[in-house]
Amino acid sequence: MSIFVVNRFTGVLLEDLVGEIYSLCKDQHGCRYLQKKLEEKNEQYISMIFNEVFSHFVELMTDPFGNYLCQKLLEYCNDDQRTIIIETVAPELVNISLNMHGTRAVQKMIEFLSTPTQIRIVIVALNPNVVPLIKDLNGNHVIQKCLHRLSHEENQFIYNAVSKNCIEVATHRHGCCVLQRCIDRASESQKIQLVTEITFHALTLVQDPFGNYVVQYVLDLGDSRFTDALIRKFIGNVCLLSVQKFSSNVMEKCIRVAEPETRKCLIDEMLNKNRLDKLLRDSYANYVVQTSLDYADPIQRAQLVECIRPLLPAIRNTPYGKRIQGKLHREQMQALNTINSLNMNNMNMLRFPFNGLGNFGNMGMIGIGDYSHSYHYL
């Protein structure tokens, strides 16, 4: 019985199915038969199928089987036919995009847009609902297809909507991902437009479960035109942000990538025994302190160590206290080993001042005074 169902169109001519094509679109095997007819690229067949289905396109684009026929027809029809289809579905294009089957058909439509008129119709249809589409499980893929397929100028409607609703988009599960793709596909002016808004709202975004990834994405661009202004938005709130789950990760990254002067400002906020005591005891902030020890300049690092050492006994039994204590101990041992190594080398030169040729060795280069200076420096 199943063999009969699968092969029931064997030897059947499309001409014999006139009047039944629309209903076949919603049948699994009928849909496959019609797709194969379209793949033959016979203009007569394409026109026969188009004439019976274009007025039903809104329904078929959201049908589990019909959407595949719609995708294939959009690919093989001519420009005029495609324009008629787009005009037909435009009033319902947003609703179709939100559907699990419809989103695929709309993406295929965008992929095969072939005239300025078609592009304009799609943009006008999507423009009022860019943000709801971005936030939708299915709709966000339609916006992403626009980013990949349309030109910078044609996509400006997306950048305007995202910029205007930066917080709403960036703090959403799907929105934060789409915003990152917007940055990837942006022209220079569009990138500036987005980053300016992200920077303006940085203090809010950095504390959000999704928004913090958008902030990090800008930092990862490695463009000092953007990163320094963004990081400076956090000056005055370093300790507050360091004790929060999401923003603490960003603070670590800020300390790693900041310009030297900006990094000094960030670390300077921690150079207080009372603040450091709270930071060292916090399960998130202690990592920020550790990163600061790694990236601070020598003067600030010495100040940090001076503030930390008196606090270590109180936290030595905590996991993070042990880490910090171990870190300082290892560095102290490395410094002592370096000093001892230098001492031994210099002492050997004092004991054996002549080389094998009977001439003076390195005594003239490293004398008593130099050895003393090196030891003092270390």
Q: Can you give the residue ranges of every domain in the chain?
A: 1-88+97-112, 247-341
Q: Looking at residues 278-296, what average pLDDT do you find?
A: 93
Q: Looking at residues 139-168, what average pLDDT do you find?
A: 98
What's the half-sphere exposure (Cβ side, CA atoms, 13 Å) at 105? 34
| More confident of the two residues 18 and 80 | 80
Q: Are 233 and 205 in contact (CB under 8 A)?
A: no
pLDDT at 347 (0 to 100): 62
pLDDT at 332 (0 to 100): 60
Q: How far apart are CA 230 and CA 227, in angstroms?
A: 5
Assess whether pLDDT exceeds 60 at residue 272. yes
pLDDT at 16 (0 to 100): 82
Rg of the chain, C-alpha, whole Å: 33
**CA end-to-end distance (rounded Å), the chain:** 89
Q: What are phi and psi of 354, to 5 degrees?
A: -110, 140
pLDDT at 338 (0 to 100): 54
Q: Are 317 and 325 in contact (CB under 8 A)?
A: no
| More confident of the two residues 150 and 3 | 150
pLDDT at 373 (0 to 100): 33
| More confident of the two residues 8 and 78 | 78
User: To the nearest whole number, what is the mean pLDDT of the chain?
Assistant: 88
- The conformation of residue 238, written as its DSSP 8-state character, comes to H
What is the pTM assigned to this prediction?
Answer: 0.83
Q: How far apart are CA 296 and CA 310, in angstroms?
A: 19
Q: How far apart are CA 54 and CA 99, in angstroms?
A: 19
Give the contacts of 305 (CB within 8 A, at least 6 positions apart): 293, 328
Amino acid at 100: M
Q: How far apart are CA 269 and CA 236, in angstroms?
A: 7
Assess whether pLDDT exceeds 70 at residue 151. yes
Assess whether pLDDT exceeds 60 at residue 199. yes
Give the contacts of 257 (CB within 8 A, at least 6 positions apart): 219, 222, 227, 231
| More confident of the two residues 342 and 179 | 179
Q: How far apart are CA 360 and CA 105, in angstroms?
A: 85
pLDDT at 350 (0 to 100): 58
